[in-house]
Chain A
């Protein structure tokens, strides 16, 4: 049940309506039922995995708590708790490995075996990647870790805990919530609040705009170019356009999903983590990763980077830690060498940027260039978009060689291709280009208006009624008239659903 499906448009109001009608005490139960129904609408059997991950982490929490209370020997207690954490991680990562990385691992193993002239291991295990598995497993594991660290109280009601893992707005593509943030919200009932519901719906509307008007339109061009490797030879302008378009598509798609998730949760009374903080306004890629997919970055920082020692180690180890986190992030995104290279490249850029920071500072002093000047901000944004787009080539390509071919194709750059109508051969007509340009302008304006860190929704709320209504009606009309949906278009999944 995609957020941009008619099924969800019927499901969500129904869930919300019932949620606020039924007694407060059982509202969480209704949300749990709705969340499992939501997840089972993809494949009912995969709910077993969700339940298994929930059960394991819930039990680990109980046992850790039991150790805390019952084991008097401090040393033994720590050992037992560590074992419990390790077991919880082991079981959950095993599920993830089997369903996500099994074939990737087997292929890698067979390549190694081939070097030693050992015959390859054949497997008849075939299974589709359960939607959202990478998200809910990380979220469930955060609970084990947070109980271990004493950051959250153990939840004894397995059903309430199950809602924490399966809360449908963020179940399949995040934001990945920390137990200390989401679990307490589940334990308290939420009443109907007109203003909150309204604000949640506004955010959802903006999410739909990002997804249907921007991301799925850009996808027409991107999919056409990437879909046929022979297109890579058509000229650098085509590839460069696809590169930039995919950067914006990924952003609009994932930020759109996140806004839908945040908005849906807000309607129900929950506050989720803001996943995107105007990432394309970052000064460099290092900062970009603190503003892009914030909840995942935070998870890796909390549960991988810090345990590895973070930056409180020697320089070399620090850079190694950074690289490990980026490689893990790459692997988390997908079981393919392309994602591993993607993670590695991001790590490399971050390290290089850190190494160049002192030189850059000196250069700025010498030239008198300010980081805050408008021109500099434009240059920084262009750099971030280009570098992000460049690395995303590996994210989007099926194979490493395909990615390399794409990048080679970019070198055949002929600026005349910008003016000879060549770009119209890739699925988008002039009307689509105009809508793309206008919608990207809207995206820019919205981001720019949020530069003071204040909610744009609050600013809109302060406007006269006629302006507010006009704006909302215009947004709805834009989605309805200029959204890419219906027959003739593939119902594009959200890019991050595949993880």
Chain B
């Protein structure tokens, strides 16, 4: 009996320790907002038809939302920053536990010179961590890591705490580290990383496919291993290379990969050879030499969507309630691209229900010039759950915060200057509202986002939308109370 008690207590203790150890591993790994290794668990099972795999060129260059909008194909960017080839295989292997994709689209960047610095180096180990740390310890992970020769630091790859524990001492833990166990961890845009950044490049000198350069030592074997893996899993594979501003050697290596693809009967879509056909413009489409911005990604993704539709039997899921997640992501993407340009206040109010956006409404400073809010505005606000919005801005000051689809704060003040402070993840927001101009002072209606911008306005309503995933403001507008009732975009 005594022995049984001790045994039971040991089992409980070991279970508790193992659980805490697991939590520590999860808490401590680095959670970059781009890269979906940490998000894939939160996709509904059996919904993804196409995985786009590769490195950053995928998450900037392929936009599953564009593909969804055009074809209804449910695609997902399964990739992390500088993802080594071997990580791609292990990550895909992990994702296959819950997904049965009909096609794997693989960007071959990391099989070129870009992959060279990752072989047998600390950098390679670090990049492997980004992809593998979010994967829970399992027999499959242990087997995969042990069998992958390119992974030299096997211990720390299985127990990421070995690598990451110093993040705690160095004070590098973020909001996401402590809240990783709760909340919605699905990627807002199915792995796509939105950027408007633009750098200018001249038309690259892209040689024909007959120019061939050797791949870095050891890379070809890993690439073939990936092909073999997909073949064994009976996963159709398509190689692509998104447009890149490179040199002859890089294009030559891409051509070499084309030859390997030909040998293994893997179709290869080199967008560099389609540079002009796509209408790529070096002054518009690139965020830098390798990463496409939202405009470049649109061109490539739309072409790819047509290619997939024409060459593969991939179903159109648009309108299917089981695929509402893609609709939500498409709406989110539309908000990010649309809000900075729209002049319709209703767009802002409708985007407030987006589960990844924070919307802040400030009203004040208009006692001298009261304006009655349009009925349309008021009813849209009521639909969001806002209850205290005054009928006229002349009645006092007001603020509301709609945090990821839910009203988290709403207050009306008859008079005076009021300040509110809130934290969203690691960012501090300071809201100031006043209903009249203080003696000798100016109106105090303002929004200060720490590291994100400062907005203030004369009498009227300020609406700011903030992306809680990228932790960046999307747009801030002043809803002017003049005859035009138009929106004025504020700069930050």
Contact = CB atoms under 8 A, between A and B. Distances in A.
A194 B169 contact: no
A498 interface: no
A477 B168 CA distance: 12
Interface stretch (B12-20, B324-332, B343-351): B12-20
A435 to B, nearest CB: 7
A486 B21 CA distance: 16
A481 B156 contact: no
B16 A431 contact: no
B408 interface: no
B45 interface: no
A470 to B, nearest CB: 11
A151 B155 CA distance: 46
B153 interface: yes
B104 to A, nearest CB: 31
A469 B16 contact: yes
Nearest to B158: A6
A482 B7 CA distance: 30
A487 interface: yes
Contacts of B155: 6
A200 interface: no
A483 B166 CA distance: 8
A472 B17 CA distance: 10
Interface string A460-493: 0000010001001100110011110111100000
Interface in B158-180: 159, 161-163, 165-166, 168-171
B171 A431 contact: yes
A432 B156 contact: no
A435 B170 CA distance: 12
Contacts of B13: 469, 472
B24 interface: yes
Contact of B153 (A194, A429, A481, A487): A487
A480 B3 contact: no
Interface residues of A, number: 20
B157 to A, nearest CB: 11
Contacts of B10: 194
B118 to A, nearest CB: 15
A432 B169 CA distance: 8
Given A486-B156, A487-B125, A481 B168 contact: yes
Contacts of A194: 3, 6-7, 10
Nearest to B20: A473
B20 A482 contact: no
B225 interface: no
B166 A488 contact: yes
A487 B156 contact: yes
B122 interface: yes
Interface in B1-36: 3, 6-7, 9-10, 13, 16-17, 20-21, 24
A429 B162 CA distance: 20
Contacts of A483: 165
A485 B162 contact: yes
Nearest to B126: A487
Interface in B56-108: none
A435 B166 contact: no
Contacts of B24: 477, 480-481
B40 to A, nearest CB: 26
B125 A431 contact: no
Nearest to B165: A481
Contacts of B125: 487
Contacts of A486: 156, 162-163, 165-166
A330 B153 CA distance: 38
B357 to A, nearest CB: 35
Would you call the interface of chain A mostly helix, strand, loop, or mixed?
helix
A188 B13 CA distance: 31
Interface string A66-96: 0000000000000000000000000000000
B177 to A, nearest CB: 13
Interface in A1-59: 6
Contacts of A469: 13, 16
Contact of A487 (B17, B122, B168): B122
Interface in A320-339: none
B122 A482 contact: no
A274 to B, nearest CB: 26
Contacts of A435: 169
A386 B17 CA distance: 40
A435 B169 CA distance: 9
A480 B169 contact: no
Interface string B133-171: 000000000000000000001011001011101101111
Contacts of A6: 155, 159, 162
A465 B153 CA distance: 38
Nearest to B169: A431
A482 B3 CA distance: 35
Contacts of B166: 486, 488
A476 B122 contact: no
A473 B162 contact: no
Nearest to A489: B166
A78 B436 CA distance: 111
B163 A487 contact: yes
A476 B163 contact: no
Contacts of B6: 194
Nearest to B153: A487
Contact of A480 (B165, B170, B171): B165
Contacts of B171: 431
Contacts of A480: 21, 24, 161, 165
A347 B159 CA distance: 47
Nearest to A488: B166
B151 to A, nearest CB: 13
Nearest to A435: B169
A70 B166 CA distance: 66
Contacts of A431: 169-171
Interface string A113-137: 0000000000000000000000000
Contacts of A472: 13
Contacts of B169: 431-432, 435, 481-482
Given A481-B168, A483-B165, A487-B163, A473 B17 contact: yes
Interface in B203-257: none
A431 B156 CA distance: 23
Nearest to A479: B165
A481 B17 CA distance: 14
A487 B160 CA distance: 11
B107 to A, nearest CB: 28
Nearest to A482: B169
A481 B23 CA distance: 12
Contacts of B9: 465
B126 to A, nearest CB: 8
A476 B9 CA distance: 18
A482 B323 CA distance: 45
A485 B161 CA distance: 10
A435 B24 CA distance: 19
Contacts of B168: 481-482
Contacts of A477: 20, 24
A357 B171 CA distance: 51
A464 to B, nearest CB: 13
A368 B161 CA distance: 56
Given A435-B169, A477-B20, 8 more contacts: A6-B155, A194-B10, A429-B170, A472-B13, A480-B24, A481-B169, A483-B165, A487-B153
10 nearest A-B pairs in the assembled complex, by CB-CB distance: A6-B155, A486-B162, A194-B6, A481-B168, A431-B169, A481-B165, A486-B163, A487-B163, A480-B161, A480-B165
Interface of B: 3, 6-7, 9-10, 13, 16-17, 20-21, 24, 122, 125, 153, 155-156, 159, 161-163, 165-166, 168-171
26 contacts: A6-B155, A6-B162, A194-B6, A194-B7, A431-B170, A431-B171, A435-B169, A469-B13, A473-B16, A473-B20, A476-B20, A477-B24, A480-B165, A481-B168, A481-B169, A482-B165, A483-B165, A485-B162, A485-B165, A486-B162, A486-B163, A486-B165, A487-B122, A487-B125, A487-B153, A487-B156
